[in-house]
A and B are shown apart, each in its own frame.
Chain A
Amino acid sequence: MMRKNCPHEKEIRELIEDGHWPLAALPELRAHVGECRTCSDLALVAGVFQNARIETMAAAKLASPGVLLWRAQLRRRNAAVERLTRPLLGAQIFALAVTLLAGLGFMGFEARHGLAWLNWLEQIPQSVGPLWDNLFSASVTSSGWAWMVLVAGLATLLLLGGVAIYKATDGQERIGRP
């Protein structure tokens, strides 16, 4: 399709945008629009679209601008919090990696120097076994005092563990909340 320029296009368009078409147009221009295909298309399309714009704008039901401002502020703040927590996560991963590397280094060092500490590890069951036997027998015989101590210790451990897990997850939830 070949596009044909018409010198009157701009003039007609300005008249339509100002709302002066066709009443305020010169008779020669109106006669030209009747003959020129490009200009008649322009006049028809622009006129219909201008009317449609006015009618459609009147039908708009707008939300409060305050709500949009509030949503934008919330989104910006969340993005900022997310940006802030990203380096913390990176630091945690870095710390874990360093710890693992240090542990592996230590293991390697010990393995190279004869695993002397394994002898001590082998002695642990022998030293703990009699102690456990004594505790168990004492708990049975000495009116349940040792049992109470054991149960209280375990309960304390469970309680502290629960509190620690709660604190950790609560902190994570607060950071990650949208």
Chain B
Amino acid sequence: MAPIEKRTRMSWESALPRSLAGGALDRSAAGTTDPAMDSDAFAVFYERSARPLWAYLVRVSSDPALADDLMQESFVRFLCAAGAPSLYTMGETAARLYLFRIATNLLRDHWRRPRAASIEEIPEEFFAGRDSAAHSDSQIMLGPALRRMNPRERQLLWLAYAEGYSHREIAKVTGLAATSIRLLLFRARRKIAGFLRGRASHVGRES
């Protein structure tokens, strides 16, 4: 992935007194975030990261409108976060991982709010019929199979096999222990493979 060119441009924070700059000047001094992530640098990062993030959110939540909202909120929180990794010093991969972590936390908060106390307790009926993504070949195969998985399994499967993240990276995004990812992922993969094979034979019989 090509590194993002560092530019030095006057940001809005520098025009404000230190107390009014929202901590941005302190963060710049500490080097934890970009000294001034200007609009061009952010646009490049956004262009590369927004679509994968939206795909992750829409496949896990099965709700495109929710995915839109959470994606925007994730980017805004990323820009405001004091501990966000710098694009210039830590690279785009670390920044994207952090972005996915924010999105995962937002998803969990969203699921906790309306009805269930835990992500595992959400009934699968809640997701049934909510997926209005394009009805493509992969959607015909994957959609019904994903709906039969619980949200945690969807997250793990998507991060591992769609995004290609390692177990350690998935642990960072989901907050689970890296050692348990391997087994959880193995079980989820075996489960969805069974659903996919069943779906393939069903579609084959219909056609």
Q: Which residues of A contact B (CB under 8 A)?
A: 1, 3, 17, 40-42, 44-46, 48-53, 55-57, 59-63, 65-66, 68-69, 71-73, 75-77, 79-81, 83-84
Contact A41 B190 (CB under 8 A): yes
Complex CA distance for A103 and B12, rounded to whole angstroms: 47
Q: Are A41 and B193 in contact (CB under 8 A)?
A: yes
Contact call A65/B43, Cβ cutoff below 8 A: yes
- B106 shortest CB reach to chain A, Å: 14
Min CB distance B78 to A, Å, is 8
CA separation between A119 and B113, bound complex, in Å?
Answer: 65
Name the prevailing secondary structure of the B interface residues.
Answer: helix
Q: Are A62 and B139 interface neighbours, CB within 8 A? A: no
Shortest distance between the CB of B20 and any CB in chain A (Å): 5
On whether the beta carbons of A49 and B55 are closer than 8 Å, the reply is: no
Residues in chain B near residue A49, CB distance under 8 A = 142, 157-158, 161-162
Complex CA gap A50/B160 in Å reads 10
User: Are B42 and A69 closer than 8 Å at their CB atoms?
Assistant: yes
Contacts of B107 in A (CB 8 A): none
Determine whether B163 belongs to the interface, using a CB cutoff of 8 Å to chain A. Answer: yes
A36 and B187 CA atoms in complex are apart in Å by 16
Q: B196 and A48: CB pair below 8 A?
A: yes
Q: Are A56 and B196 in contact (CB under 8 A)?
A: no
Q: A3-B183, A53-B163, A55-B136 are in contact. Are A60 and B54 (CB under 8 A)?
A: yes
Whether B197 is near chain A, meaning CB under 8 Å from some CB there, is: yes
B residues 4-40 near A (Cβ < 8 Å) are 12, 16, 19-24, 39
Stretch at the interface among B45-53, B90-98, B115-123, B168-176: B45-53
B128 at the interface (CB under 8 A from A): no
List CB contacts (< 8 Å) of B141-187 with chain A: 141-142, 157-158, 161-164, 182-183, 186-187
Residue of B nearest to A51 (CB): B138
Across-interface contacts of A56 in B (CB, < 8 A): 54-55, 58-59, 133-134
Cα–Cα, bound, A84→B21 (Å):
10
Q: Which residue of B lies closest to A79 (CB)?
A: B22
Q: Which among A45, A73, A83 has the greatest number of chain B C-beta atoms within 10 A?
A: A45
A76 to B189, CA, bound (A): 41
Selected A-B contacts with CB under 8 Å, 9 pairs: A3-B182, A44-B196, A45-B192, A52-B55, A52-B162, A53-B163, A55-B139, A69-B42, A80-B23
Bound complex: CA A66 to CA B19 (Å): 25
Contacts of B46 in A (CB 8 A): 62, 65, 68
* Other-chain contact of B72, A40, A55, A60, A68 (Cβ < 8 Å): A68
Q: Is the beta-carbon distance between B196 and A76 smaller than 8 angstroms?
A: no
Please name 19 further chain A to chain B contacts, defined as beta carbons within 8 Å, in addition to the given A55-B134, A57-B52, A84-B19, sorted by A numbering: A1-B186, A17-B164, A44-B193, A45-B189, A45-B196, A48-B138, A49-B142, A52-B142, A56-B54, A56-B58, A59-B133, A60-B55, A65-B39, A66-B39, A72-B75, A72-B76, A76-B80, A80-B21, A83-B23
